[in-house]
Amino acid sequence: MSRLASGREGSEGEKGTDKERGATLVLASLTIVVLLGMAGFAVDLGWLYLKANQALKAAEASALAGVVHMPKPGAVPWGAGAEAWDTAVDVAARNGYTTGSGTTVTPSEVPGHPNQLEVDVATSVPTFFMRIFGIGSVSFSRDAIAEHLPPLKMGSDEPFLGKDPTDPSRNTHYWLSVNGTYTGKNEGDPFSTVCYLGSAGPGGPPPYPNPVPAGCSATGNHEYRNPAYYFAVNVPAGHVGTTLAVDVFDGPWTDPALQTADYHYRWDVTPYVTTFRLLAPDQTPDDPSDNAVEICRDDYHALGSPGYDPSEAQVWDTLCTTTAVEGTYVLELSVSGDTYSNNKFSLRSRINGSTANNVEMWGFGALSLAMHDPNTSPVFKIVRLDPIYAGTSLVVALWDAGDLGQAGTLTFGGAVAGLECRVRELDDHGSVVANWHADDGGAGCELNIAPNEHNNQWVEFQFDVPTTYACPASCWADVTYAFGSAPHDRTTWTATIQGGPVHLLP
């Protein structure tokens, strides 16, 4: 009995073991399937993450490349043919994304922000293991917005720059100005001259066969550029089809006894020519250096030089007229001839013969000025600070600002009134003389200048523009140039936004 009982128990135990082994096999198989499924999902998710990141990078690259062409010229419709659109689409294609076959690349203007560009890359990506579950592809889109902070407008947003002797109501307190190529940089113009120093020679009428001024050598001015300056002539949509005229007052260098008080530190025998070129708008309105279509040019030859035309002196001379299109014309200024002189002039725009119009003229990033005004505390517009610059850092720099034999004070106001500033000084080779330090005033930005204190130096003023900044009564930042008597000075001003002007937005 006991043996039979024992045999039955052994058989039942073996059957139980077989069942357990079978269950384990099933569980193991299921586990393997789950693990393979998880691995498959992991592979697919990693693949999808990679492709989504590539799409995002393509959208960012496209937005950054295209936004430099914003704002687009108003006459160009949005879409294919607009430079910002074409550039964005081209860069997306170079990154592997072209509209068609499940992919769409869409550049868009950002409403209310003409200096921003949004690019959306939408695509469909095939899967691997997900196909087992009927998911053969996954669609997604990635977008990026880039912003381009345009060059700052300097001096004006009206149809004229500089003094207008024919209209006393248009007194800007300064002449526009440019020095000859062999004028010392220390004479107030850091960009037009190859020289870093100069030594004054005899006065009187030209010519004087003087030798080349000191400092014009292989170690000359590192800031020299040609063309020396650019000016904008911005025509709004309301003036399209009208007759646009651009005029220059006293384009040639003339006798210093005359009205603009052109000055010659020393004359050499080489002719002195001031050249203006008006260039048509293009699809990069914030870059004045690449406009290629010349509408007209005029070479103004100095008094005493071959080609001098007295009918162009001390009057408004029409550079050219053209049928107006919407956009930003570029007026390019360059000088030639190894002279040691200073030419003063003014600019204006007319529409159908009238100076009462909505054309805006300004300096692209720099203005070279000659201050000759009976006012002892003239106020100068420096830079237009629009709300798009909120949260940035503005740097205004003045070259040779204290080259006067009297003490004075520079006080900033207008759009930057009440904002504190930091100040630093650089020498004529760009080396720091005094690093960033507090200004001399209380609330706001103020600098006290001793006689000749900042001769042959850059003085930089840095303002942190609040993120909440909005234009006060005016968007223009200005400076009061207060001295004991009316200032007569030759200087150059620049304005920049610190940091990269082209960047992605969150």
Q: Which pLDDT tens digit goes with each residue over 378-398?
A: 888 999 999 989 989 999 999
pTM of the model: 0.81
Q: What is the pLDDT of residues 222-240, one digit of tens each?
A: 899 999 999 999 999 999 9
CA distance 53 to 46: 10
How sure is the predictor about 205, in pLDDT bands with cuts at 50, 70 and 90? very low
More confident residue, 420 or 28: 420
Residue 5 lies in a domain: no
Strand order through the sheet with 294-301? 294-301, 273-279, 327-336, 229-235, 360-364, 153-158, 379-384, 476-483, 408-414, 446-449
Structural domain including 29 reads: 21-148
Buried b (16+ CB within 10 A) or exposed e, 387-410: ebbeebebbbbbbbbbbbeeebeb
Q: Dihedral, CA atoms, 200, 202, 207, 212, nearest 10 degrees?
A: -40
Residues 156-172 have pLDDT tens digits of 999 999 988 888 777 77
SS3 499: coil
Residues 378 and 361 reside in one and the same domain = no
- Domain limit, last residue, from 148, 172, 188: 148
Note whether residue 434 is domain-resident. yes
Query: What confidence score (pLDDT) does residue 136 get?
Result: 82
CATH number at residue 482: 2.60.120
What token pair was written down for 384?
Answer: 């237009």
Q: Residue 325 domain-assigned? A: yes
Same-domain status, 200 and 280: yes
End position of a domain, from candidates 341, 372, 403: 372
Q: Pick from 148, 175, 210: which residue ends a domain?
A: 148
Is the link from the previous residue into 71 a cis peptide, with omega within 30 of 0? yes
Same domain assignment for residues 234 and 379 = no
- Tell me: do 364 and 398 sit in the same domain: no
Could you tell me if 26 and 83 lie in one domain? Answer: yes
254 and 391 co-located in one domain: no
DSSP 258-300: STT--EEEE--SS--EEEEEEE---S-TT-GGG---EEEEEEE
Higher-confidence residue: 434 or 194? 434
**CA distances from residue 309 to 77, 224, 249, 250, 332 in whole angstroms, order as listed:** 44, 28, 13, 11, 21
Shared domain for 365 and 391, answered yes or no, is no
SS3 of 198-223: the string is CCCCCCCCCCCCCCCCCCCCCCCCCC
Cα–Cα distance for residue pair 180/198, rounded to 1 Å:
11
For residues 113 and 96, give the distance between their C-alpha atoms in angstroms, rounded to a whole number: 28
Query: How many independent structural domains does the chain possess?
Result: 3
